[in-house]
């Protein structure tokens, strides 16, 4: 019998009293196969958004400390309800807030890093044979103020707790069966993966596969915790995210991902001075804009001016455009233009490290169907192409087929 | 300039983002006339009931510890929103939970008593010139678990904090202008009182005037804190609840109160044994039933049997009836009957202590209008009569008029 199992249940798994009761039963069943169970929970359904909506009605820019004090209540509510539902079935459970569970974070609000978990209270409750339900997404800082660790942070809370409690595996329950070769809504032949490596998952998570938050994967990688992503709606085995595949890697590409929400911003005619790009992108980063796929080119040999263009997520577009226009004025650039009709399609796989020609095969596949590639970025295990948004789902299907992802060969 | 002002805002004063912003402005205005302001808040509008509704959907009898962990979130939410709204106007404020504010309670859940307030954190924040917003209704026990102090408890939290911070007065903001001679919905000539004594307010609060929770009045009496009950919707002076009237008491009766939710339970034919009434009412009290207006009579001189009847609040009726029927069987009583068409009308006033004949005047007033008195209970400053419920509002009007309450003579 396993010693401690750490599970995490997301908002969609807890969105109604009925779903909470179903999760309660699932946790009770888990307790039959483990000495101890720790369950980390997100807020019910969209309840965090409702709290954010209230905040925006009383303050345009809510002060960060109170923002955290406010939105952490979503997890408090789901944790106590879940504990009630378990107790109602005659099984002992106790809910602990981030503070009670000893989750100590940086003093920073809204995106604090977890520094340490003081597990004494958790251990005490486990020793009393209690199932321990812990609020995800939140902790407490050195001033005893409530902090939150950023959106999607409950996954990270669960992995950190698994590490602190010396578990090898962390089960993350969500509304999908696991990690797929691509989005099944785009490609019906998409296949659930039995396992992926941390690095593949990191690329996929940051490229738009919304199953796991990248921070949680990084944290699992650092602590060598296997994440088992599975559905809270059925009993199927899901996808294990782990250090390396147990079996030999046969395929160069593990998955195809799509991010439809990209936009390109271009500054035309920036006078060529050393260090301009560095200054510009540092400034954007300071303001919290994540920039991807940068292209810089020199236009005119005799009186050199730069054209700089880069892509951003659509969420950041209005802020990024505003900042770029300010900067363009300071730099005496000619003009700023934006293009919001971009999508980014990517192939990911540790197998491509040992196989040359994977990128070329991708470009060729897209080219044969007259899909124009506007930008390319690559990493060791990923190739991404910016293309027209209206070709996005076609591109996913073509690549899924070209790299043989529908067929199990692992 | 006053040193510290403690205010309490109820749920109706905070029921929407707009109301929260209005309260924020009111607190900022208060800060102009005091060195420090502490505001204690209830949950927004009916939000506590919504949380209780969720609890009832996951568990028929929610475990008390989790019930407290759940419903305390209502106050957390309103406190952080109010602090945001104040900060949004450029004034420094910080919200503190019961735990952060050092409100230590008994370990008991759902109706813990406050044992102690460790004011260090509050003082530290006040020293930084912060307005301190504190969640009412909640505290923390010796196990670091969240407790609540019973419904209406935010008034008590405010008074306890005023005492701990050595204030002389505590302002309680509500949706009415103050304490009236009777319910203005029943008697349009009802008049707002400038002041009432603790004892009068205690009688009125426990008799159904829902302005202040009796515990908060008891707590104010013990600590000699003046409670200023006033409206959050206007700037009028309200009613001060204090040790004794500053002016000479001219009127024997200060107010007329009505409780329409009474029921009478009777056990007929209880064999006459010593100690039966004591055993019976102790048992009801242990089960949490509050009993009022007990009448016991001996029916038969040769073979003595008792008839016991008493009144309970309608909320307690089904539980009290069940317990009484069980007890009647044990005691071999003949039968149990209930009457739910009762109301209790009362006159309250410290002035009646020095004026004989006040009770007689009440009975006469009701009798002249053919209102049958079914039961009578009295205290030093109160006379209550149980009457038919359909005569209730008529009785209030008659008594209000008979004791001259519409006219100011204080």
CATH no. for residue B377?
Answer: 3.30.2130.10
Confidence bin at B288 (pLDDT 50/70/90): confident
What residue has token string 């309840």? A47
- Please indicate whether, in this complex, the C-beta atoms of A21 and B60 are within 8 angstroms of each other: no
Chain B nearest-CA distance from A292, in A, is 34
Looking at the structure, do residues B10 and B142 belong to the same domain, yes or no? Answer: yes
Collapsing DSSP to helix, strand or coil, B206 comes out as: helix
Predicted local confidence at residue A306, as pLDDT: 79
Over 50: is that where the pLDDT of A253 sits?
yes
Mutant choice from B27, B58, B120 vs A, greatest count of A C-beta within 10 A: B58
B184 and B137 in a common domain: yes
Of all residues in chain B, the one with the smallest CA distance to A82 is B58
Among the ranges given (A271-280, A350-359, B95-104), the one the predictor scored with the smallest mean pLDDT: A271-280
- A83 and B61 within 8 Å at the Cβ level: the answer is no
* pLDDT given at position B249: 61
Residues A94-129 have pLDDT tens digits of 999 999 999 999 999 998 999 999 999 999 999 999
Q: Give the H or E element holding residue B198.
A: helix B198-206
- CA closest to A44 among chain B residues: B54
B349 in a domain, yes or no?
A: yes
Spatial contact of A62 and A70, defined as CB atoms under 8 Å apart? yes
Q: Which contiguous run of DSSP H or E holds residue B362?
A: helix B358-368
Residues B124 and B55 in one domain: yes
Neighboring chain B residues of A81 at a CB cutoff of 8 Å: 54-55, 58, 66, 70
Same domain, B197 and B289: no
Q: Which residue has the tokens 């009579």?
A: B297
Please determine, for residue B330, whether its predicted confidence score (pLDDT) is greater than 70. Answer: yes
Mutate to test the interface with B, among A20, A21, A77 (most CBs of B within 10 A): A77
**CB neighbourhood size of A339 (10 A):** 16
- In A, minimum Cα distance to B52 occurs at A81
Integer Cα distance of A211 and A199 in angstroms: 15
Is A309 in contact with A335 (CB distance < 8 Å)? Answer: no
B229 and B306, same domain (yes or no): no
Instruction: Residue B81: list chain A partners with CB under 8 A.
Output: 54-55, 58, 66, 70
Q: Which of A69, A88, A99 lies nearest to residue B95, judging by beta carbons?
A: A69
SS3 label, residue B15: coil
* Burial class (CB within 10 angstroms; exposed 0-12, middle 13-18, buried 19+) of A303: exposed
Are B218 and B160 in contact by the 8 Å Cβ rule? The answer is no
Burial of A62 (0-12, 13-18, 19+ CB in 10 A): buried
- Interface mutation target, options B60, B75, B81, B140, chain A, most CBs of A under 10 Å: B81
Exposed/middle/buried for residue B157 (C-beta within 10 Å: 0-12, 13-18, 19+): buried
* Mean pLDDT, rounded, for B43-61: 95
Looking at CA atoms only, how far is residue A108 from chain B in angstroms? 16
CA separation for the pair A358, A363 (Å, rounded)? 9
pLDDT at A99: 97
- By the 8 A CB rule, do A134 and A96 touch? yes
Kindly report the nearest CA distance between residue A95 and chain B, in angstroms: 7
What ipTM score was computed for the predicted complex, to two decimals? Answer: 0.82
Query: Has residue A229 been placed in a domain?
Result: no
The structure tokens listed for A284 are: 């954007």
* Closest Cβ–Cβ partner in B57, B70, B85 for A17: B57
Q: What is the 3-state secondary structure (H, E, C) of chain A?
A: CEEEEEEEECHHHHCCHHHHHHHHHHHHHHHCCEEEEEEEECCCCCHHHHHHHHHHHHCCCCCHHHHHHHHCHHHHHHHHHHHHHHHHCCCCEEEECCCCCCEEECCCCCCCCEEEECCHHHHHHHHCCCEEEEECCEEECCCCCEEECCCCHHHHHHHHHHHHCCCCEEEEEECCCCCECCCCCCCCCCCECCEEEHHHHHHHHHCCCCCCCHHHHHHHHHHCCEEEEEECCCCCCCEEEECCCCCCCCCCCCEEEEEEEEEEEEEEEEECCCCHHHHHHHHHHHCCCCEEEEEEEECCCCCCEEEEEEEEEHHHHHHHHHHHHHHHHHCCCCEEEEEEEEEEEEEECHHHHHCCCHHHHHHHHHHHCCCCCCEEEEECCEEEEEEEHHHHHHHHHHHHHHCCCCCCCC
How far, in Å, CA of A323 to CA of A155, rounded? 32
CA gap A223, A219 in Å, rounded:
6
Residue B380 lies in a domain: yes
Q: Domain check: are B128 and B48 in the same one?
A: yes
Mean pLDDT of A229-235: 92
Distance from CA of B279 to the nearest CA of A (A): 33
- Cα(A354)–Cα(A358) distance, integer angstroms: 10
What's the CA gap between B215 and B24, in Å, rounded?
Answer: 27
For residues B213-221, give the mean pLDDT. 91
User: Closest approach of chain B CAs to the CA of A62, in angstroms?
Assistant: 6
Confidence of residue B2 (pLDDT cuts 50, 70, 90): low
Is residue A33 assigned to a domain? yes
- Chain A residue nearest residue B62, CA to CA: A84
Q: A28 CA to chain B: closest CA distance, Å?
A: 15
Residues of chain A with Cβ-Cβ distance to B92 below 8 Å are: none
Which of B54, B73, B85 is opposite residue A76, by nearest beta carbon?
A: B73
Six-digit token string for A262? 């990209």
**Alpha carbon distance A359, A382 (integer Å):** 9
CB spacing of B59 vs A84 below 8 angstroms: yes
Please count the structural domains in chain B. Answer: 2
The domain in which residue B13 lies consists of 2-242
Do the chains contact at A69 and B63, CB–CB below 8 Å? no
Least confident of A372-376, B112-116, B235-239: A372-376
Are both B211 and B317 inside the same structural domain?
Answer: no
Please tell me the predicted confidence (pLDDT) of residue B300. 63
Residue B139 has pLDDT above 60, yes or no: yes
**What pLDDT digit, counting tens, does each position of B172-202 carry?**
999 888 999 998 888 999 999 999 999 999 9
pLDDT of res. A397: 95
Distance between A26 CA and the closest CA of chain B, angstroms = 14
Kindly tell me if the per-residue pLDDT of B305 is higher than 90. Answer: no
Cβ–Cβ of A69/B76 closer than 8 Å?
Answer: yes
Mean pLDDT of A42-62: 95
Give yes or no for residue A398 having a pLDDT over 60: yes
User: Do B105 and B115 form a contact (C-beta atoms < 8 A)?
Assistant: yes
Residue B410 lies in a domain: no
Tens of pLDDT, residue by residue over B53-82, are 999 999 999 999 999 999 999 999 999 999
A vs B: CB pairs below 8 A: 114
Residue labelled with tokens 């309260």: B23
A276-322: pLDDT as tens digits? 778 888 888 888 888 888 877 766 667 677 788 888 888 888 899 99
pLDDT confidence tier of residue A215, bands split at 50, 70 and 90: confident
**Chain B interface, Cβ < 8 Å to A:** 17, 20-21, 24, 51, 54-55, 57-63, 65-67, 69-70, 73, 76-77, 79-85, 87-88, 94-95, 97, 99-100, 121, 144-145
pLDDT of residue B208: 65
Tell me the pLDDT band of A246, cut-offs 50, 70 and 90: low
Kindly determine whether residue A60 and residue B88, on different chains, have CB atoms separated by under 8 Å: yes
Where does a domain end: B195, B225, B242? B242
Q: Please tell me the predicted confidence (pLDDT) of residue A72.
A: 97
In contact, A168 and A225? CB cutoff 8 Å: yes
CATH number at residue B98: 3.40.1160.10
Q: Is the pLDDT of residue B410 over 80?
A: no
Distance CA B112, CA B147 (A): 7
| Element containing residue B134 per DSSP (H, E) | strand B131-135
| Rounded Cα distance, B343 and B391, in Å | 8
Tell me how close the Cα of B19 comes to any Cα of chain A, in angstroms: 10
pLDDT category of residue B357 using cuts at 50, 70 and 90 = confident
**Spatial separation of the C-alpha atoms in residues B79 and B40, rounded to whole Å:** 8
pLDDT at B106: 95
The reply to whether B409 falls in a domain is no
Predicted local confidence at residue A410, as pLDDT:
44
CA distance A23 to A29: 10
pLDDT at A179 over 50: yes
Domain finish residue from B207, B242, B277:
B242
Q: What is the predicted pLDDT for the residue at A135?
A: 98
- Tell me which DSSP letter residue B353 carries: G
Which residues in chain A touch residue B95, judged by CB atoms under 8 angstroms apart?
Answer: 66, 69
List of chain A residues whose C-beta atoms are within 8 Å of the C-beta of residue B23: none
Q: Hey, what are A257's tokens?
A: 């991902």
- A293: region left, alpha or beta (phi > 0 left; psi from -120 to 50 alpha): left
- Token reading at A255: 């998955």
Q: Do both B156 and B279 map to the same domain? A: no
pLDDT of residue A1: 54
Q: Does the residue A205 lie in any domain?
A: no
pLDDT of residue B270: 84
Region B326-347: mean pLDDT is 89
Q: Same domain for B222 and B331? A: no
Are residues A17 and B58, on separate chains, in Cβ contact within 8 Å?
Answer: yes
Q: Which of A21, A59, A145 to mutate to test the interface with B (most CBs of B within 10 A)?
A: A59
Q: Does the residue A50 lie in any domain?
A: yes
Verify that B336 and B258 share a domain, yes or no: yes
**Residues B284-299: b if buried by 16+ CB within 10 A, e if exposed:** beeeebebbbebeeee
CB–CB contact B84 A67 (8 Å): yes
Q: What is the pLDDT of residue A287?
A: 85
Kindly report the nearest CA distance between residue B11 and chain A, in angstroms.
16
Give which of B85, B65, B280 is closest to A96, Cα–Cα.
B65
Percent of chain B with pLDDT over 70: 95
Interfacial residues of A (vs B; Cβ cutoff 8 Å): 17-18, 20-21, 24, 51, 54-55, 57-63, 65-67, 69-70, 73, 76-77, 79-85, 87-88, 94-95, 97, 99-100, 121, 144-145
Of B17, B62, B67, the CB nearest to A58: B17
For residue A101, give the chain B residue with the closest CA.
Answer: B144
The DSSP secondary-structure symbol of B249 reads: P
Nearest one of B336, B338, B333 to B317, comparing CA atoms: B338
**Of B242, B277, B310, which residue is a domain's last?**
B242
- The Cβ of residue A367 has, within 10 Å, a number of other Cβ atoms equal to 11
Query: Is the same domain home to B219 and B303?
Result: no
Residue B247 has pLDDT above 60, yes or no: no
Assess whether B274 and B137 both reside in one domain: no
Return the number of other C-beta atoms located less than 10 Å from residue A379's C-beta.
13
Whole-number pLDDT of residue A208: 65
Average pLDDT, chain B: 90
Neighbouring CB atoms inside 10 A of B87's CB total 23
User: What are the backbone angles phi and psi of residue A198, rounded to the nearest 5°?
Assistant: -55, -45
* Contact: B95, A66; criterion CB under 8 Å: yes
Cα pseudo-dihedral A229, A234, A237, A239, rounded to 10? -30
Chain A neighbors of B61, CB-CB under 8 A = 88
For residues B31, B36, B38, B39, the Cα torsion angle rounded to the nearest 10 degrees is: 0
Pure H helices in B32-91: 47-58, 64-71, 73-88
């Amino acid at each position: 019998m396993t010693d401690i199992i750490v599970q995490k249940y997301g908002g969609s798994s807890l969105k109604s009293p009925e779903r909470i009761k179903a999760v309660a039963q699932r946790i009770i069943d888990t307790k039959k196969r483990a000495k101890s169970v720790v369950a980390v929970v997100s807020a019910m359904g969209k309840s965090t958004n409702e709290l954010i909506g209230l905040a925006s009605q009383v303050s345009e820019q809510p002060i960060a400390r109170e923002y955290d004090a406010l939105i952490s209540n979503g997890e408090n509510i789901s944790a106590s309800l879940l504990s009630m539902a378990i107790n109602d079935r005659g099984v002992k459970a106790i809910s602990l807030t981030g503070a009670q569970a000893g989750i100590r974070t940086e003093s920073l609000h809204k995106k604090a890093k977890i520094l340490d978990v003081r597990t004494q209270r958790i251990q005490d409750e486990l020793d009393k044979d209690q199932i321990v339900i812990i609020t995800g997404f939140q902790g407490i800082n050195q001033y005893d103020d409530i902090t939150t660790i950023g959106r999607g942070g409950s996954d990270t809370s669960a992995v950190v707790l698994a590490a602190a409690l010396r578990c090898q595996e962390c089960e993350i329950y969500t509304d999908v069966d696991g990690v797929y070769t691509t989005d099944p809504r785009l490609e019906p032949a998409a296949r659930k993966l039995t396992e992926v490596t941390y690095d593949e998952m990191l690329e996929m998570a940051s490229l738009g596969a919304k199953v796991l938050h990248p921070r949680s994967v990084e944290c699992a990688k650092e602590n060598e915790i296997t994440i088992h992503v599975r559905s809270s709606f059925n009993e199927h085995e899901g996808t294990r995210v782990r250090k390396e595949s147990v079996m030999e890697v046969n395929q160069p590409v593990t998955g195809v991902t799509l991010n439809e929400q990209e936009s390109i911003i271009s500054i035309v005619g920036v006078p060529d001075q050393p260090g301009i790009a560095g200054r510009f992108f540092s400034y954007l980063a300071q303001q919290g804009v994540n920039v991807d796929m940068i292209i810089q080119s020199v236009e005119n040999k005799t009186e050199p001016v730069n054209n700089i263009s880069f892509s951003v997520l659509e969420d950041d577009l209005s802020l990024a455009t505003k900042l770029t226009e300010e900067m363009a004025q300071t730099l005496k650039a000619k003009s700023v233009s934006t293009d919001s009709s971009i999508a980014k399609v990517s192939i990911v796989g540790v197998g491509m490290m040992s196989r040359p020609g994977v990128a070329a095969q991708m470009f060729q596949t897209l080219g044969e169907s007259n899909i124009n590639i506007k930008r390319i970025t690559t990493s060791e295990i990923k190739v991404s192409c910016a293309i027209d948004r209206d070709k996005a789902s076609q591109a996913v299907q073509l690549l899924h087929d070209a790299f043989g992802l529908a067929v199990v060969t692992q």
